[in-house]
A and B are shown apart, each in its own frame.
Chain A
Amino acid sequence: MITLSQSTEDYLEAMLIISLERGVVRVKDLAAHLQVKAPSVVATTKRLVREGLVRHERYGYLELTAQGLQIAQEIYTRHKNLFRFLHLFLGVDEKTAERDACQMEHHISPETMGRIVQFLEFIEACPAEESHWIAAFRQFTATGTLPTYCTSPHGEASAYTRTSHTQGDTAMPPKTLADLPAGQQAEVARVGGEMALKSRLLEMGIVPGTKITVERVAPLGDPVEVTVRGYRLSLRREEAAVIVIKER
């Protein structure tokens, strides 16, 4: 399979849609449809002509070559199917579904696309089965509660939406270094936080299993001083709060 850039795919698809609507494709229409300036349309179509996907007709009309048409149809089909999947099945609103389909159509693998198509075919072919659980799903997306016959006791989709990887079902938030009083030692369980902070803490030797002691708190209440691997480090409380500790 030839990999095409997203803009190439967008152009071919747009040309197909315009030709279906108006019969002919002009640079002006293409520019309006893609919301770009005419000169850049000209530049890109020149490239597409070179690549044998588009033909220049006279009077500024463009036409898809057989090869271009094939690709355009493929993408357009993908787009329609993704839109159906997002809007009709998942219940994503029309605008968002349209926008997401536009993005997904370029990146989705043939395998995943194939399964989505099969899935759509399946639920359309078996409407009796579909009715109640699609309805239940709609209700779930709207209210967040599962029907009573479902297995999760609280009706929460916790396993998928939970952001932290921590094990255990306790409702208590994990204890962090910021909760540790001065003079006490704990063992690091994991390090979170945004990338730059996390990387810095890790390279300073704060990794799971490391023993860390809070030595003292600054006179104004923040930051805190800790010892780790035999040296002293100062951390703001907000930074200490991304270091999850094990209770000892």
Chain B
Amino acid sequence: MVMQKGMTVALAGNPNSGKTSIFNALTGARQHVGNWPGVTVERKEGHFTYAGVHVTVVDLPGIYGLTSYSLDERIARDFLLHGKPDLVVAVVDTTNLERNLYLVLQLLELGVPVVLDLNMMDEIARKGIEIDTVALGQALGVRVVTTVANQEEGIEALKEAIVESEQHHPAPTFKLDYGPPVEEEITRLQNMLERSTNLDGYSSRWMAIKLLEGDPEAQRQLKGQPQEEEIMSTVMAATVRLEGRLEDGDIEMALVERRYGFLNGLAKAIIRRKTGMERRLDISERIDRIVLNKYLGIPIFLTLLWGAFQLIFTLGGPVADLVDAFFTWLGEASAKGILALGAPEWAASLVADGIIGGIGSVLVFLPNILLLFLVIAILEDSGYMARAAFVMDRLMHALGLHGKSFIPLILGFGCNVPAIMATRTLSSEKDRILTILINPFISCSARLPIYVLFAGAFFAQAQGLIIFSLYVLGIIVAIGTALLFRRLFFAHEIAPLVMELPPYRLPSVRSVLIHMWERSRLFLTKAGTIIAITVILVWALASLPPGVEYASEASLIGGLGRLLAPLLAPAGFGFWQAAVALFFGILAKEVVVGTLGTLYGGEATLTVAIQSAFTPVSAYAFMVMSLIYIPCIATIGAIRREAGWRWALLSVTYSLLLGWLLAVIIFQLGQLLRLA
């Protein structure tokens, strides 16, 4: 048997160039989604086999160039140089050739072998535009393939071009002429670099250009090299000379201008508009005139958001209840079965409450998560998400956030778990982490039963007002936290908006489904494990030592409650039942009500029971505590999955301290007022 050959291909392209569709079309469902090392930027990898060659496809982040200022671009650059891909497939949105080719130009200057994929050829045809692909290929010295990714047209040809490149080794020959003064300096620097420096995979020309542009990563590359000082002083001298000779006196700007000048000329040479074809009024522009209208923009956005919310929670809710009911039934049925087999009661409880309960508490989120990602995929792929950010950015920017942070925050009113998963749409890591960290303070629907119970028992006349005040308090805490954390962790790191508003496009069913499935699978595997383990752990605490009544004062968790109760005394609820209920609330906030019910002898008499245990002031303090004190375990799992352990731990610590502090302040103030 012939040894199977293997090669690695990197997919590079602008955001919205259809890169993801190409990736899906090439690799199908054989994908692995993880993170790039050290950051929470997503890294997708997939495989296909063509003509006996096994090809690994690595999807790079969507980027516009290869500067070292943006994390995404740095990741791409690092992988292109150190990941040593055999080939880079540059995916280009043909409807927007100039800007898309800018990245291709950068790839060629970097010196990596490139196959150029002109995507969205159908839209070009519809606009009555023809492209001379042969001339384009000759001008850039690359092989050109044309595709319509969402209809899987041209994919076979692309696969063929990828596999054939293995034999041809298409070393890039392209060299852009920057004109005499710049070329002189480039040559001078190149000679120096080649003589003395370990370039670590960079070509000397690329390095010389980047040094002249003042690229910090290129300067870092030189650090510690024997000739560092000599080269840097040559760069400095060259910079001074060029600044004098260039019209604007700005080298980076002059170089980019030169590249775009070349691309503009190239585009003119290869694009032919068919005559006789009326240029239709741009559909996207017609939609935007309504959707981004001064008066209609916000109402339309809010209506769509309301629709999304309804779909995810109102439609998903009953299905989630069904899942919940199924697992409750399954637990009870299997407990009966196990008892019937003569097994001890604790074994039945382990299976029913621990294992089945644990798995159930993960799967109960699945309907909401699936629907969430359906909605998100449609909003993103259609091009509306960028418009939503455009409409809301002013408000969010005032809080140090991004326009795209708004949707996750609103989803938080339903459930923080899908809301945190929705932050994936934010491209800046800092914005994403900040949006994740403030999300748990948005009062989710699971907290409502607690409010209803306590407000009903203590504030019967002003129930609505009391509950409303808790929602407002949550929002205030979220805003305060956003401002505080921005200062503490991400000062001076407000990401620029500079965001493309892509043309509206019909999302492809296939892409939407793949997106939905991948995301949900990630939730189940990554967040699910933590959730299930915690549920089992809490079950064990409530059931041990053997023979105790579940979650009673004699159980381990009851002991913990007694231990922690004194800590809660300053907040007015320093008794073990409250501590145990809050402990169970970590599983899911609505469990607080159920636990109190069990501990005070049934939910029927619960109102009376808590009326004797709490005062109105301590009841309000307890509600505030429930609102803030800790994200539920599913939320913690989601934070860990999206931002990593460090931020998850910070979130837990911060909210515990803040929740306790606010509860204490409210109770103490209330006491003072009552005395006065």
Closest to B284 in A: A232
Contact of A220 among B96, B284, B391 (CB under 8 A): B391
Contact present for A219 and B260 (CB under 8 Å):
no
B393 CB within 8 Å of chain A: yes
Q: Tell me, in angstroms, the Cα distance from A217 to B293 when the chains sit together.
A: 9
Q: Tell me, in angstroms, the Cα distance from A46 to B390 when the chains sit together.
A: 62
- Chain A residues contacting B98 (CB-CB under 8 Å) are 205, 229-230
Q: Tell me, in angstroms, the Cα distance from A233 to B260 when the chains sit together.
A: 17
A218 CB within 8 Å of chain B: yes
Q: Tell me, in angstroms, the Cα distance from A231 to B93 when the chains sit together.
A: 11
**Chain A interface: which of B172-180, B250-258, B558-566?**
B250-258
Q: Tell me, in angstroms, the Cα distance from A232 to B252 when the chains sit together.
A: 24
Q: Is the interface of A mostly helix, strand, loop or mixed?
A: mixed
- Chain A residues contacting B297 (CB-CB under 8 Å) are 218-219
B70 CB within 8 Å of chain A: yes
Contact present for B252 and A231 (CB under 8 Å):
no
- Say how far A187's CB is from chain B's closest CB, in angstroms: 13
Which residues of B are at the interface with A, using a C-beta cutoff of 8 A? 64-65, 67, 69-70, 96, 98-99, 102, 214, 216, 229, 248-250, 252-253, 256-257, 260, 284, 288, 292-295, 297-298, 386, 389-395, 397, 403, 496-503
- Chain B residues contacting A208 (CB-CB under 8 Å) are 248, 253, 257
- Say how far A212's CB is from chain B's closest CB, in angstroms: 13
- Say how far B73's CB is from chain A's closest CB, in angstroms: 9
A155 CB within 8 Å of chain B: no
A197-212 interface (Cβ within 8 A of B): 197-205, 207-210
10 shortest A-B CB distances, which residue pairs? A203-B65, A220-B394, A196-B69, A219-B297, A232-B501, A202-B256, A207-B257, A199-B67, A222-B394, A236-B497
Question: Count of A-B contacts with CB under 8 A?
Answer: 127
- Say how far B374's CB is from chain A's closest CB, in angstroms: 26
- Say how far B72's CB is from chain A's closest CB, in angstroms: 11
A153 CB within 8 Å of chain B: no
A234 CB within 8 Å of chain B: yes
Contact present for B260 and A235 (CB under 8 Å):
no
- Say how far B176's CB is from chain A's closest CB, in angstroms: 14
Contact of B249 among A165, A191, A210 (CB under 8 A): A165
- Chain B residues contacting A197 (CB-CB under 8 Å) are 496, 498
- Chain B residues contacting A195 (CB-CB under 8 Å) are 69, 214, 216
- Chain B residues contacting A232 (CB-CB under 8 Å) are 284, 288, 500-503
Contact present for A191 and B253 (CB under 8 Å):
yes
A221 CB within 8 Å of chain B: yes
Query: Chain A interface residue count: which class?
Result: 35 or more
Contact present for A236 and B253 (CB under 8 Å):
no
- Chain A residues contacting B391 (CB-CB under 8 Å) are 218-220
Q: Tell me, in angstroms, the Cα distance from A222 to B70 when the chains sit together.
A: 23
A3 CB within 8 Å of chain B: yes
- Say how far A65's CB is from chain B's closest CB, in angstroms: 25
Closest to B216 in A: A195
A225 CB within 8 Å of chain B: yes
Contact present for B498 and A233 (CB under 8 Å):
yes
Contact present for B394 and A200 (CB under 8 Å):
no
A223 CB within 8 Å of chain B: yes
- Chain B residues contacting A209 (CB-CB under 8 Å) are 257
Q: Tell me, in angstroms, the Cα distance from A198 to B386 when the chains sit together.
A: 21
Contact of B498 among A207, A221, A229, A235 (CB under 8 A): A235
Contact of A202 among B249, B253, B500 (CB under 8 A): B253
Closest to A233 in B: B500
A216 CB within 8 Å of chain B: yes
On whether A231 and B96 interact (CB within 8 A), knowing A3-B229, A165-B249, A207-B256, the answer reads yes
Other than the given A202-B253, A202-B256, A234-B499, 11 more pairs (CB < 8 A) read: A165-B250, A196-B70, A202-B252, A204-B498, A205-B260, A229-B99, A231-B99, A232-B503, A235-B497, A236-B496, A239-B496
